Structure 1
Amino acid sequence: MLKTMIEHNVFYGHSKSRTNPKMRPFVLSAKSGVQIVDLMKTMSQLDKAVAMVKDKVRLGGSVLFVGTTPATKFIVKETAQRLQMPYVTTRWLGGTLTNFKTILTRINHFKKLEEDKVAGRLQKYTKKERVMIDVELSKLDRFFRGIVGLDKLPSAVVITELGDGEIAAREAKLTKIPAVAFVNTNRDPDLVKYPIASNDRNSKSVAFLLSHIEKAVVEGRVAKEADAAKLAEKAKAPAVK
């Protein structure tokens, strides 16, 4: 595990001059002015995050993946799509968690417009009006496509970079949703319940960490199915007199 993490550049932090004081306990050393993350502590943090995600999915919850940086957002999107989980890879809309009722209204509006277009119900409008609707659809698609399947708040949030993801982290905290975040040495680990000290700028590092989160989701679903099978079997068993 340690060797694999090194191969995936998980250990690279930011420059020593940019270190957040709260991240010092997770720094092993410095090399050429760059902080080196203590991977033993990273492994411990990853284990805790994985266990939490697995438990949430086992109970039927969803996991919202958030990653908007150009270097890693495609990895985030692909991971979430494979898992059929919600994701945000464009700008985080303020209130996505803290004002979810309003966000859900916008999601439903987006879905209705799409359905109307596919069904040909927009033909009743003038050409100019249809152009305006297409512009609106394009904007809605950009911001809501990844969360179009959300009908309630997620059970957990995974944030791949705390710079762009800080608002998401704060909203998760306010709504008491456990959040996992890949935290570089220049960020505040206290923003989330499950920080993972790591290189959040490198696609190999992010892909490696996300692969473990993905495995946790899959295992959580398997455990959920096993639980359901046990309950069904128990229901079939004759009552003992």
Structure 2
Amino acid sequence: MSSSILRPGLKAAARCSRRRTPAWSCSRGYAATATPQGEMPLETAEDWTKFQVERAEFKTLVEHFSQFGSNQTRDNTWQPHHSLHRPVEPTQLTLSALMAAGAHLGHSKSIMNPNFIPYAYGVRAGVTIIDLDHTLPALRRAAKLVRSVAANDGSIVFVGTRPDLGQAVRKAAGRLESQGFHVADRWLPGTLTNKVQMFGAQAVLDQRVVPDLVIFLNPLQNMAAIRECAMEHVPTVGIVDSNVDPRIVMYPIPANDESTRTAELIAGVLSVAGREGVALRKEQDAKRQTRKRYQEHAHS
């Protein structure tokens, strides 16, 4: 008897459960579950007002404590790719940048050149560590030379014959405009010593074939070019590693010559110095032209 009384009630409950849930209740339930855990959904005007007040308070705290934080970001700090695209000036170069580029890593102790000992800091794990306290002054001295040559309308050649150095020498030569040149593939033997056969007699008479300064990023692979520069009395600047005799170039820069980052950093710093020299030459030429026009106007 009791079961017969409950059966109609169960049927009614089953019919109610098969009814469709309203769409608005489904969307509200989805919105409530989609919110992050611990945050209430913004459903009423009071919720939005509370949210705006909390956001304003957070912004006020950020503005108040921002003066106590760091102002260094990705844009104003040094990045590895900056040595190629945005090189620093010689006066702004630091030992940290040289170390980050790997300039302090030399070759094995067993192949260290005896003449390189003054530039060696020590040996660690069988590898010669280059003393960057010698590298930085040598690089700044070379930068002064490049600036002086460019300011006196001299031509400068960047030589980097390894495949990974091609972009570095091209960008470095481009910063010197018409005074910059580069050799990225191969130095042709006799370029300086047999210049008449290479360029022609008329070209040698009309143009400046012999450069005023040559910068070698990998001097050990360009010994023939260094000999030609010595025979033609052309000053040379080069990156010398621990297995290289520093005396092969006139202005040695002790650093890791197998590191692409190091070569890009050094070439960029020297090219920036050359760009400063080019700007100085243009300024002097403009002053000279102004003075000349003033004198002509005064005589007339």
TM-score, normalised relative to structure 1: 0.76
Counterpart among 161, 183, 199 of residue 104 in structure 1: 199
Residue 217 (structure 1) shift? 1.3
Q: Give me the whole-angstrom Cα distance separating, in 2, the residues matched to 1:47 and 1:34.
A: 26
2: CA distance, partners of 1:26 / 1:14: 13
Partner residue, 1:206: 263
The structural deviation recorded for 1:34 is 0.8
Aligned equivalent of 1:33? 126
Letter matched to residue 265 of structure 2: F
Q: How far apart are the structure 1 equivalents of 2:105 and 2:197?
A: 40
2:294 and 2:254 map into 1 onto residues whose CA distance is: 48
2:80 is the alignment partner of 1:23: no
Aligned partner of 1:131 in structure 2 is: none
The Cα of 1:163 is off from its aligned counterpart by 1.5
Alignment of 1:101-180 (within 5 A): 101-105=196-200, 151-180=208-237
Residue ranges of structure 1 left out of the alignment (5+ in a row): 109-149
Determine helix, strand or coil for the equivalent of 2:253: strand
Deviation readout 1:102-150 (Å, 9 max, x if unpaired): 22139x8xxxxxxxxxxxxxxxxxxxxxxxxxxxxxxxxxxxxxxxxx7
Q: How many residues of Structure 1 are paired with residues of Structure 2 in the alignment?
A: 198
Counterpart in the other structure of 1:233? 290
Instruction: State the alpha-carbon separation in 2 of the partners of residues 82 and 48 from structure 1.
Output: 19
Cross-structure match for 1:8: 101
Distance 1:52 1:82 in 2: 16
Identical counterparts, % of pairs:
31
TM-superposed deviation, 1:49: 0.9
Q: Work out whether 1:195 is the aligned partner of 2:290.
A: no
Larger radius of gyration: 2
Give the distance between the partners of 2:284 and 2:186, measured in 1 at CA.
Answer: 38
Counterparts of 1:164 and 1:81, CA distance in 2 = 23
Give the root-mean-square deviation of aligned CA atoms.
2.1
Shift of 1:74: 3.0
**CA offset digits 1:164-208 (Å, max 9, x no partner):** 121111111111111110110101111111110001101110010
User: 2: distance between equivalents of 1:15 and 1:6?
Assistant: 18
| Secondary structure of the corresponding residue to residue 163 of structure 1 | helix
Q: 1:51-93: per-residue Cα shift (whole Å, max 9, x none)?
A: 1111111111111111112332332233324544221122221
Tell me if the contact between 1:56 and 1:62 (Cα under 8 Å) persists in the aligned partners.
yes
> For 1:86, what is the secondary structure of its paired residue?
strand
Structure 2 length normalisation: TM-score? 0.62
Check conservation: 2:165, 2:184, Cα contact below 8 A: no
Between the aligned partners of 1:30 and 1:73, the Cα distance in structure 2 is 31
Determine the C-alpha separation between the residues in 1 that align with 2:147 and 2:140.
11
Distance 1:59 1:14, change over 3 A: same
CA distance in 2 between partners of 1:209 and 1:183 (Å): 12
CA contact (8 A) 1:71 1:202 kept: no
What secondary structure sits across from 2:167 in the alignment? Answer: helix
